[in-house]
Structure 1
Amino acid sequence: MQPLTASPKWFVPGDIDGFFGLLVDNLIQILLIVGLCQGVLGFPAELIFARILPGVALSLILGNAYYSWLAYQQGKREQRDDLTALPYGINTVSLFAYIFLVMLPVKLLAINQGSSPAQAAETAWQAGLVACLGSGLIELGGAWFGERLRRVAPRAAMLSTLAGIALTFIAIGFLFRTFANPMVGILPLGVILLSYFGGVKFGIPGGLFAVLLGVLLSWTTGLTIWDGQQWSAAIDSLGVYVPKLWIGGLWEQRGVLLQYFTIILPMGLFNLVGSLQNLESAAAAGDRYPTTPCLAANGIGTIVAAFCGSCFPTTIYIGHPGWKEMGARVGYSWLNGLVLGVLCLTGSISILTYLVPIDAGMAIVLWIGIVIVAQSFTVTPLRHAPAVVVGLLPGIAGWAALIAKNSFRAAGLGTPEQPFQPDVLVPALRLSDIYIEGAFALEQGVILSAMLLSGMTVYIIDRDFGKAALWSLIAALLSWIGLIHSFQWTPTDTVVKLGWGAGAQWAVSYLLLTLLFLYAAWRTRLQKNNTLEADLEQRP
């Protein structure tokens, strides 16, 4: 920390490196939004560039402006010029979770019910708005109870659940893509590993170097080729897009808030807890920011995104000490928001999307997945490592369920003409020892069930069997009303089955497990009392 004689500046030379590093992080998220919304969800360009990206822009501009202003004002109060603004941007895990676990199922269900592809895309977008709004409300409310939440939920239960999503929906998919296109994927991955794990300096930020190298390899190896029609479409997307309020879309799909509550609630809590941990990380680096306004700003940024068309929550980013060490201060943050805002509000991001394919930046996303999974082991007590593994399993099962259903569809099933036939598919898979209905059960409420199972394991390891019983009882109650595990087949998908007694078989099983934990608690207490009595009898 500097002596209390300096004053902050709005921009210093170190902000240049910080700006490029944070810009690349956020730019990759935006490229993913465009690529996944087009490729996975089939959204038309108008929906992406005229609705989603203006909402993204507004949330990034407001958030980065606030954290820059906060750092500047705090620097003035503390008479310091070395404060680094909190890094801020789109939440990577929420991006994947809401696309694959909310918006894609909603779209498939809409098509199954007879909607046209355009209508289904509209419905999926509206569902994403509701999920984003729910996450923002949780983050905003958490500004006042976040610390108490952290004390209730074991760290292993929170981080392992996050890691399960990161390992599957983030890391594995891009790992496959890396080795499917090794001429483009492997060398940038090496740059990322050398930069972020090996500390090697390339003269420019490692993330920027990796993306530039990936772009060069994509175009020179023929993975990306010139397409005049696509270039014309990118040019046509240029314009001025003013953010609008989309309250009607939120209201039309308000039922999504309950239907996907088991996804929305944990994602909101993850954003909340992750922001708290990043505030702690900043404090450890010497920059202590007030908790409540920072968390509130997070929630407000996400709520603004939802009302203005974006389906993707924002959050305080990990890595504040890295930006600080790089020399970034206040300017890197506001400049990041300004540049990204201009790219999104003018449609210029369409040009970058065409020139910079996802393959060019997938090494960074793969690294993010690796870091999230590694963190779930390294920042939890060593004895809780088994609980982390348990928390990973439901996420892996949920991803496997998605892959299985996509495989069925690739084989021509899952259409109104050739609907799923569980009485045929399930026995056929069991012949190869694949109990696919177990994966479908874990897929429903995957994040919440992972948290509960990991939490139970933590308290078993700590021999606090009473708390393990409480977590098991919560799982029984959630199963009974169908918020976790309960599912039903449709002609094109497996979807959540809500209702009183919907998940009775899982609820009864968890209830029996609760009784077992209570018995273990009673036996442990009895043995402890017997030991104490024996010690007292042996004393003179």
Structure 2
Amino acid sequence: YMSIIVPMVLVNVMGAIANLETAAAVGDKYDPLACVFGAVPWLIGTIPIASGVGFLLWIGMVITSSSFERKAHDSNHGTAVVLGMIPALAAWAFQLVQTTLHAVNTNSNMTAALDSLAAAGLNPQGMIALSQGYLLTAIVLASTMVHIIERDFIYAAAWMAVASMLSATGIIHAYRVVGNAIEPALGFFPTQVSHQFAIVYAGMALMLAAFHLGEEEYKYTWSHVLKMVTWSKQRLPRHAPAAASIDEHTPLLLRSQSTLFEMEK
């Protein structure tokens, strides 16, 4: 159950922080200490759940829209938000498909149903793979995209390495079809799907690490070029302006003498 416990804890902590920041951004500052006294069950028992759905929907829209807002000095992380939503959408879509299959035919075989869906042009294997540990997958993919946008390729490579290890151990993407149920598969390369995802993530980690080395080399080269140009300008001889010759001062002397002669008159 660790593949469920760890992501849920991370999502709850990050969600609480995001809620506080979103409220503070619109001028509503809440004290987190007010939420640790066990009053939430009383509120749930007093206020009907249906009446709070609208507030939850509004909070979700505000949090999502704030992720796409971009200030003058900040980068736009909307791409990372969209990428992080893909595993959750895949899990939701497969849940709808699975519920529909059980509702239409309770005795249907899941393997045969998946083969029929694949023959019809739907790719249920991809949805299932993304739905397994989708919270961790969303965190890893979104974090990777954030670092790519910020051009911190070494951190993005580290996240891809983490994704490769998670996939290799079956924490994400790995699954087995047991009867009419989809069960997670743990172990070292437990299924072919985990093997494929681990290789892809490892390749992405190597590619991003190469990008980091290339960008560092680029910065290193240009910084030294600028230093050489600055050093060469400082080493250039600075010639003092030559003294003015008598011929250059002659018109000025003649004008001053004529002015004095007119003043004496």
TM-score, normalising length from structure 2? Answer: 0.71
The SS at the match of 1:383 is coil
After TM superposition, give the deviation of residue 505 of structure 1 in Å. Answer: 2.2
- The answer for the alignment partner of 2:238 in structure 1 is none
Structure 1 residue identity aligned to 2:83? V
Change over 3 Å in CA distance of 1:462–1:340 after alignment to 2: closer
- The answer for the alignment partner of 1:437 in structure 2 is 125
Count of aligned pairs: 225
After TM superposition, give the deviation of residue 399 of structure 1 in Å. Answer: 0.5
CA displacement, residues 247-271 of structure 1 (integer Å, 9 cap, x when unaligned) = xxxxxxxxxxxx2x23322222232
Q: 2:15 aligns with which of 260, 274, 281?
A: 274
Contact 1:263–1:446 (CA<8 Å) still a contact in 2?
no
After TM superposition, give the deviation of residue 391 of structure 1 in Å. Answer: 0.7
Distance 2:9 2:214 in 1: 38
- The answer for the alignment partner of 1:536 in structure 2 is 227
- The answer for the alignment partner of 1:387 in structure 2 is 80
Residue 512 in 1 paired to residue 203 in 2? Answer: yes
Distance 1:538 1:463 in 2: 27
Contact 1:469–1:515 (CA<8 Å) still a contact in 2?
yes
5 Å matches for 1:362-441?
A: 363-378=54-69, 381-413=74-106, 415=107, 418-421=108-111, 424-441=112-129
5 Å matches for 1:60-139?
A: none
Change over 3 Å in CA distance of 1:526–1:267 after alignment to 2: same
Distance 1:431 1:283 in 2: 49
Contact 1:262–1:446 (CA<8 Å) still a contact in 2?
no
Structure 2 residue identity aligned to 1:447? L
Distance 1:448 1:474 in 2: 10
Structure 2 residue identity aligned to 1:517? L
Change over 3 Å in CA distance of 1:433–1:532 after alignment to 2: farther
5 Å matches for 1:279-318?
A: 279=20, 281=23, 289=31, 294=33, 298=36
Contact 2:75–2:149 (CA<8 Å) still a contact in 1?
no
- The answer for the alignment partner of 2:154 in structure 1 is 466
If asked which structure has higher relative contact order (CA below 8 Å, sep 6+), I would say 1
Name the larger-Rg structure. Answer: 2
After TM superposition, give the deviation of residue 432 of structure 1 in Å. Answer: 4.3
Distance 1:375 1:283 in 2: 9
Distance 1:411 1:445 in 2: 27
Distance 1:434 1:379 in 2: 37
After TM superposition, give the deviation of residue 523 of structure 1 in Å. Answer: 1.0
Change over 3 Å in CA distance of 1:278–1:446 after alignment to 2: closer
Higher mean C-alpha displacement, 499-508 vs 393-402 = 499-508
Distance 2:28 2:200 in 1: 49
Contact 1:441–1:485 (CA<8 Å) still a contact in 2?
yes
- The answer for the alignment partner of 2:172 in structure 1 is 484
Q: Name the Cα RMSD after superposition.
A: 3.3
TM-score, normalising length from structure 1? Answer: 0.37
After TM superposition, give the deviation of residue 282 of structure 1 in Å. Answer: 5.9
Structure 2 residue identity aligned to 1:383? N
Residue 522 in 1 paired to residue 263 in 2? Answer: no
Contact 2:81–2:142 (CA<8 Å) still a contact in 1?
yes
Contact 2:94–2:127 (CA<8 Å) still a contact in 1?
yes
Unaligned 5+ segments in structure 2 are 233-265
- The answer for the alignment partner of 2:255 in structure 1 is none
5 Å matches for 1:315-326?
A: none
After TM superposition, give the deviation of residue 439 of structure 1 in Å. Answer: 0.5
Distance 1:278 1:427 in 2: 42
The SS at the match of 2:180 is coil
Contact 2:170–2:186 (CA<8 Å) still a contact in 1?
yes
Distance 2:30 2:99 in 1: 47
Contact 2:158–2:205 (CA<8 Å) still a contact in 1?
yes
CA displacement, residues 447-492 of structure 1 (integer Å, 9 cap, x when unaligned) = 1101100111111111111000111111111111111111111211
The SS at the match of 2:183 is strand
The SS at the match of 2:76 is helix
